[in-house]
Structures are given as C-alpha cells and as structure tokens.
Amino acid sequence: MYRNTPTTHVLTEKLVVKILQPISSWRMEMDRLKAHVEQRVPPRSLDISDAVVGYAQQLEFARFVEPQIGSNPHYFKSVLSRYIEQIESCSEETSDEVYELLVDPVVLNSRELAPDVAEVVKYHVGGFSRADDCVMKVEETPRLISGVNTTGLRTWEAALFLANFINNRDDDGEMRALFKDKVVLELGCGTGLLGLSLAKYGLVRRMIMTDGSTAVFEHNRKLVELNGLDTSAAVSWQQLVWGDDAFCIKEKVDVVVVAQAFQRHVASEPPESTARSN
C-alpha cells in the first residue's frame, strides 16, 4: 500500500517546482517577446528565447500575430522569418499555423511602409519584470529618423524607462505613492508617453506637459482619446523652450519629471537649468 511519508511530500514538492519553473520561464519570455513586437522593435534586434519555440508556444505566438498582420505586413514578415530561424536553430519543427502566416500572399508580397506612415505602437508601462495590462498606445513614425523640428515622432527609450520606473507595480507602490495626488510638470513631453502614462496609471492630481514644439500638443490630445483617458481637467499643455526665463507656471508644482535628462545626445539647453530657474 502507498504510504504518504515526509519523504514523499518532499519529492512531490520538488516535482511540482520542477514542472512549474519551465512554465514560468517560457511565460515570461513569451510575454517579453510579445511586448517587444507590439513596440515594433526591429526584427533583427528581437531576442527570441529557446523557451518560446515549442509547439504550444508557436500556436500562442501565431494567435498573437494573426490579428495584427494587417497593420504592417512587412514588419510581421520579418518577425515571422526571424521566429522560424530560431525554431529551426533549436531543431524544432515549424508548425503549420506559423508557416501559413508567413506564406500568406499579403505577407509574402508585402513591402516596407513608407518612412512617413504612422503606426500605433503599444508600450507596457507597469514595470520591468512583466508585461501586464498597463499599456499605452502611441501613434508614431518609427521608421523616420528624427532631425530638426521632428520631436514627437518616436518615443525615446528614456521616456519608456522612466514611465516603467514610476508606474512600477513590482515595488509595492513605493514610487507611485510619491506621485499620488501631486501636481507634476514634465519638461519635454515629446510623444506624450511619460506624462500621459502618469495621468492614466500614476494617480497624479494634475499633469502639466511642456515641449518646445507646440506641434506635439495636438498629437498628445489625440492620444488622450486613443488611450481612453478621461483627463480633460487633469492634463494641460504649455510651450516651454529650455532656458526661457519668461516661462511661468501659475500653480505650485510638486514634482518635475524629464526623460531627456537621461539621453546623452540632447543638443539644447540642459533641462536641469530650466528646472532650477522655474
């Protein structure tokens, strides 16, 4: 007769841990891959883990990709090609579901979108360790190289990093607590990812978004609707050229955020001087 001994309990626990660990590992890798695709990371820069090329994972990835293909068939042709390369490098067999997506005439005969064609890109902003439901949609032109007077075309990595750092769900809400019910001023809002993510998820009382180019403000206002924000009274925009002593905020500001301070290639008045002078 089978006896449930202490040794049996230990072996059972070890077996459960052994089974769950691979599931947890591939799930995190799959979520990360999906988040990078939604962010339109260049296919050659995608880090596709061996953990996401099994048959079950292929089916999940195919279900994820299929409804998005129409937005940019050429991008997904490159993504699928890169994914199949990784499958084959692991000596796995490519599923029919993945292969049929690649050979679909719409995908196979697609061409790269023109540089000035905008796309809606999704960014996960709820922390660094997982891809959760804290998502911001931003309309961008990711293939257009930024130059003079082209601010707001592409979200900077520093803005994405800072949005995840402040909105982090994995730190017991310590950072979010610092912003709760505060009036926050952003220097250089660009595409609006950082400021609008704080307005949606950061519990701020009021968000004041500034930029040297007023052209980005109308774009930001469209994102309010795109992301389902009911923030007509909680978000405002105001032009600010860094170093301009004439700039004035009529209300008390509790926190100043500036993502561009982390970008080394900024060629303009240092943002910290603007923050000190105002």
pLDDT at 231: 58
- Residues 195 and 211: their CA atoms lie apart, in Å, by 12
What percentage of the chain carries pLDDT values higher than 70? 77
pLDDT at 49: 95
Q: Which of 95-104, 209-218, 235-244, 249-258 shows the lowest per-residue confidence on average (mean pLDDT)?
A: 235-244
Average pLDDT (228-253) is 80
pLDDT at 22: 54
Looking at the predicted structure, is the pLDDT value of residue 13 above 80? no
Looking at the predicted structure, is the pLDDT value of residue 131 above 90? no
**Distant-in-sequence, close-in-space partners of 39: CB < 8 Å, separation ≥ 6:** 121, 122, 123, 124
pLDDT at 269: 52
pLDDT at 185: 94
CATH classification of 119-277, choosing from 3.40.50.150, 3.60.40.10, 3.40.50.720, 3.90.1150.10?
3.40.50.150
Which comes out higher in pLDDT, residue 136 or 22?
Answer: 136
**Distant-in-sequence, close-in-space partners of 213: CB < 8 Å, separation ≥ 6:** 149, 151, 152
Looking at the predicted structure, is the pLDDT value of residue 267 above 80? no
Give residue-wise pLDDT tens across range 158-167. Answer: 999 999 999 8
The pLDDT-based confidence of 265 (bands split at 50, 70, 90) is very low
Output DSSP code: residue 104: S
Q: What is the mean pLDDT of the chain?
A: 82
Give residue-wise pLDDT tens across range 32-74. Answer: 999 999 999 999 999 999 999 999 999 999 999 999 999 999 9
Looking at the predicted structure, is the pLDDT value of residue 12 above 50? no
Please state, as a whole number, how many other Cβ atoms lie within 10 Å of the Cβ of residue 32. Answer: 19
Give residue-wise pLDDT tens across range 132-146. Answer: 678 999 998 877 765
Give residue-wise pLDDT tens across range 174-223. Answer: 788 889 999 999 999 999 999 999 999 878 999 999 998 888 898 899 99
Residues of the chain with CATH 3.40.50.150: 119-277
Three-state SS for 105-158 is HHHHCCCCCCCCCCEEEEEECCCCCCCCCCEEEEEECCCCCCCCCCCCCCCCHH
